[in-house]
Structure 1
Amino acid sequence: MDSTPAVLRHAVGALLKWREPAVRAVSRLIPADVLWYVDTGEPVFALTFDDGPGPETTPGLLEVLGRHAAKATFFLIGERVRAHPELVAAITAAGHEIANHLMRDERSALIPDARFRRDLAEVTELLAPYGPVKWFRPGSGVFTPRMLRSAAEQDLRAVLGTLVAANRDGPADARIAPDLAVGVRPGSIVVLHEGTPRRRGVVETTDELLGILSRRGLSAVTVSDLVTR
């Protein structure tokens, strides 16, 4: 039984409900070509996963997505693409989209410009045999103008999101879906994290999140599909 006081639950729910509109409002004040959300009246949102692929998470996610007839965009790390090319092939074979999350799980804003350019190009080259690559997401979600310029020169556009799951790399990750679902609305871009053994809970999170949103009439699509709405 939930022992959280009703007043506190109501306050948390209200905060989560307004988190997504607040991010949309702030993003409109930032003078940069970054995709945070899409204005659409259609009942769809983009589901994205960072930091894969990983054998402990990706196969489970593909099973859950298939069962819900949902599509997603996987922002993949180059080192893990090299280690698990069969998982990248499985992602695209299932009709999902792949995107660039640079070479390592690190803060992109701290990478020297020359290495950022090199890593970005290298990951796109690794992914190209599996499908088109149009998007990138900086590590830790922090970008600089020079990063955006470098990406644009490589025909890549930055994608962040309106809702980022509070993954803590532990069992509690399997219990965050209801709070996350509160803020999802048409045109949202949801960010979840996978790719490591401690993030196994993302599979259950995704299953529960898709179930909740389906009952509200919302369907998960890729980023590329969302921008065409």
Structure 2
Amino acid sequence: MGNAFLRWREPAVRLLSRAVPGDVLWFVDTREPVFALTFDDGPHPETTPGLLDVLREHGAKATFFLIGERVRTHPGLVERIAAEGHELGNHLMRDERSVLAPDERFARELAETSALLSPYGEIRWFRPGAGFFTPRMLRTAGEQGLRAVLGTVVTADKDEIRPGSIVVLHEGTSERRGVVAATDELLTAVDLRAVTVSVLVD
């Protein structure tokens, strides 16, 4: 899930969501003109402020799946994300494939990241690093009050987005500065309202 312009076809994702066991949110069935906009791998001073500016300009909201190490390094950015009405999600402590972590470390670092985020608001969702997961990971997350969120579309192409889609984009490094312009273009072009995952679900 590291490429912000990879295209997932929604019908395939819907079939996959039925075939893969576990409580994983891929999309929401709705007729409302809304989709969830999500960003992985932040916060970062070269991407997060620009994204927040673009979201404010468009009156859009998003869920930011944040990495614990970067939360520690940039607490002011986390505070701004929350203060501007966006949602925080758990993306574990490091930018790595969560599925490769031993079970005990996964559980410990999932809890550690939630503890870092919880002062800024309720944490309901987690996204495994690189998008891979096991049933044991889902059970561990459930025991900690978290549900896994993947997505319907990893793209900045409005033609891929439908009501109820969950769009996944990536920030968090200087090389990903282009996500700011891509988000602006997406929100300008799409005829749907961007909301947080919780608003889409609730």
TM-score (norm 2): 0.95
Greater than 6 Å deviation, 4+ residue runs: none
Identity of aligned residues (%): 71
Aligned to 2:188: 211
Question: For residue 7 of structure 1, what is the aligned residue in structure 2?
Answer: none
Aligned to 1:72: 62
Mapped to 1, the partners of 2:11 and 2:188 lie a distance apart of 22
Instruction: Please report how far the alpha carbon of residue 21 of structure 1 lies from its aligned counterpart in structure 2 after TM superposition.
Output: 2.0
* Structure 2: gaps of 5 or more residues: 1-6
**Structure with the largest fraction of helix:** 1
CA RMSD of aligned residues (A): 1.0
The 1-side partners of 2:101 and 2:19 are apart by 26
Correspondence for 1:125 among 71, 94, 115: 115
Q: Does 1:20 align with 2:10?
A: yes
> Does the alignment pair 1:224 with 2:198?
yes
Whole-angstrom distance in 2 between the partners of 1:137 and 1:23: 16
1:48 is aligned to 38
Distance 2:25 2:31 in 1: 17
Count the aligned residue pairs. 196
> 1:28, CA displacement in angstroms?
1.6
CA contact (8 A) 2:47 2:174 kept: yes
1:89-100 counterparts in 2 under 5 A? 89-100=79-90
- 2:172 corresponds to which of 169, 183, 195: 195
CA–CA distance in structure 2, aligned partners of residues 25 and 38 of structure 1: 14
Q: Does 1:149 align with 2:139?
A: yes
Q: 79, 91, 112: which one pairs with 2:102?
A: 112
Letter in 2 for 1:86: G
* SS across alignment from 1:28: helix
Partner Cα distance (1:199, 1:105) in 2? 14
Instruction: Assess if the C-alpha contact under 8 Å between 2:21 and 2:135 holds in 1.
Output: no
Report the Cα distance in structure 2 between the residues aligned to 1:83 and 1:31, rounded to whole angstroms: 36
The CA deviation at 1:164 is 1.3
- After TM superposition, the structure 1 = structure 2 runs for residues 176-195 of structure 1, keeping only pairs within 5 Å, are 177=156, 180-195=157-172
CA distance in 1, matches of 2:38, 2:153: 10
Show structure 1 runs of 5+ residues with no match: 1-15, 166-176
Q: What is the identity, as a one-letter code, of the residue corresponding to 1:204?
A: A
SS of 1:45's equivalent in the other structure is strand
1:63 aligns with 2:45: no
